[in-house]
Structure 1
C-alpha cells in the first residue's frame, strides 16, 4: 500500500520541483562550477586544467512539457546540458532550440527492448542472435533523427525499459561494436566507462521520498570537482495527461509481450 501511495504521489500529487532545480543551477554557479553538456565535457580541457564541473544529462523518457521548462530554466542561468530523446519523445522544434542555444540534443535509444517486445522474444540469448538486425535498426533511427534535426549526433544514451530488466540485457549492448560506432560517428555512449571514469561523483534523480542517489547535488557542491547529474523531467513535475498515457502504454506492452 505504501508503494502504491508513493507512486500515486510522484505521478499525480507531487508539487513542482522546478524551483529547486533553479536554486541548484544558481548555487552551482556560485560555487564556481562550469555547467556543461556531455558533448562539451568530452572536448580536451584547457591547458590550465578544467574548472570544477557539473555535466547535466537529461533523459527525456516522457513529459516534453517539463523538459522544455527545464531547458528554459537553464537558458536563464546560462547553463549548457545534454537532452536525450526517445523515438516516442522526439520534438524537433525543441531539439533545434536546444542546439541553437549551444546545448546538446541527441538520441535516447532502446532498440533491443523494442525489438524484443515487437517479436515477443523473452530470452536474452535469442535477442542477441538478432543483434545485427537490431544494430541496423539503431543506425537507421539515428540517421533519421540527424536528418530531421540537421545536426550530426556525437553522443547517445541508452534507455532502460522494463523489458531490459526482465531480459537482464541492456540496450547499450548495441554499441559493443566498434565498427558500428565508427560508421555512425558516435564518440561516446553515456554509460561508457571512459566517460564515467572521468567523474568524481555520478548522481541520478529518484522519485520521492529519496529524490537523489547516492546523495543530493546540493550536498556535493564544493566536495567533488567533477559531477555528472542525471535527471528525468518526470521526477521534477507532474504531468497528469502524459503520465497516464505512459502508464497505459506500459500496461499494454506488458500484457502483449
Structure 2
C-alpha cells in the first residue's frame, strides 16, 4: 500500500464526513422514478419481467453496525425492502429480528474457508481443498446457529478476507448444490446472470466500482443490483481503531 492509499484509508476510516444524506438522496431519486426495491430472495422467487423497474439492494455487514442501523432507518422512510448479510462477528440479534419483522431479508455472510485457514495456519489452496469437508461442517453449524436464533435464512453471501487473497481461494468455493438443497437456500451471486447492471460501493475516494448509480436512470436499466457496505458511508472512529489494533496484534 503506497502513501497516498494509506492517507485515503485513514481519512475514510477516521475523518470522512457522513455520506448518509447522499445515500438518502440516491434512494429517494430511484423511488421518485418509480423503481421498486426488492430482496435477493424475492428476485429469485419471482424473476421480474423486463417491463418492471426493480433494484435489488444488498447490504454486506462486514462491520459498523451503528452505520448499518442508520442506513436501515433511511430505507424504512420509503418502505424499501432489501437484504442484509451478517457475519458471525456482526450478529446483532435484536437488530436482525427487527429487520425481519419489517420484511427485510436477513442472511448469513459466511467466511469459513478464511476462518479455518487462519485458525489452522494453512499455507496453500491444496491444504484448503483437503480440509473442505471439515470446513463445510463448520458452515453448516454456523448456518444452524442463525436459524436457532429465529432467523429464517433464505440466502447466503460469501465474505472476502485477506486470507482468501493470500491462498487464492474464495469462501464461495465451499458452496455446492447439495448444500443449497439441504438447507433450502441460495447463494447471492447466483441471481445476477440476467441483470442489466450491477455495481458495488467502495471506500473513499473511489466510492463505486463497476459504474455509478445514475447510470441506471441514464440508460433506463430495468433490473439492477446495488451492493453496499456500511463503512463506505461514514467514518466510525472506535470500530476502525479496534479493527486496526486487532490487525497489529495479530502480526
TM-score by length of 2: 0.95
Partner of residue 181, structure 1: 180
Distance (whole Å) between structure 1 residues aligned to residue 248 and residue 202 of structure 2: 21
1:250 shift after superposition:
3.0
Q: What RMSD over aligned residues (CA atoms) do the two structures have, in Å? A: 1.4
The answer to whether 1:190 aligns with 2:192 is no
- Partner of 1:221: helix, strand, or coil? helix
Partner of residue 142, structure 2: 141
Count of aligned positions: 248
Check whether the contact 2:201–2:228 (CA below 8 A) recurs between aligned residues: yes
Distance (whole Å) between structure 2 residues aligned to residue 219 and residue 201 of structure 1: 9
- Partner of 1:51: helix, strand, or coil? coil
Between stretches 209-218 and 226-235, larger displacement belongs to: 209-218
Partner of residue 62, structure 1: 63
Check whether the contact 2:39–2:58 (CA below 8 A) recurs between aligned residues: yes
Q: How does 1:159-174 map to 2 (within 5 A)?
A: 159-174=159-174
Partner of residue 42, structure 1: 44
Partner of residue 154, structure 1: 154
Distance (whole Å) between structure 2 residues aligned to residue 183 and residue 106 of structure 1: 16
Residues 167-221 of structure 1: per-residue CA shift (max 9 Å, x gap): 110001110x2222211221x21122xx111211110001111100122112322
Check whether the contact 2:51–2:222 (CA below 8 A) recurs between aligned residues: no
Partner of residue 92, structure 2: 91
Partner of residue 6, structure 2: 4
Distance (whole Å) between structure 2 residues aligned to residue 49 and residue 164 of structure 1: 36
Residues 97-149 of structure 1: per-residue CA shift (max 9 Å, x gap): 1110001111000000000000001111111110101001100100011111x
Distance (whole Å) between structure 2 residues aligned to residue 222 and residue 42 of structure 1: 26
Distance (whole Å) between structure 2 residues aligned to residue 219 and residue 228 of structure 1: 12
Distance (whole Å) between structure 1 residues aligned to residue 72 and residue 239 of structure 2: 18
Check whether the contact 1:62–1:246 (CA below 8 A) recurs between aligned residues: no
Distance (whole Å) between structure 2 residues aligned to residue 38 and residue 78 of structure 1: 16
Distance (whole Å) between structure 2 residues aligned to residue 116 and residue 50 of structure 1: 46
Partner of residue 248, structure 2: 251
The answer to whether 1:219 aligns with 2:231 is no
From the superposition, tell whether residues 151 and 4 of structure 1 become closer, same or farther in structure 2 (CA, over 3 Å): closer
1:50 shift after superposition:
5.4
- Partner of 2:52: helix, strand, or coil? coil
Unaligned 5+ segments in structure 2 are none
1:74 shift after superposition:
0.4
Unaligned 5+ segments in structure 1 are none
- Partner of 2:94: helix, strand, or coil? helix
TM-score by length of 1: 0.93
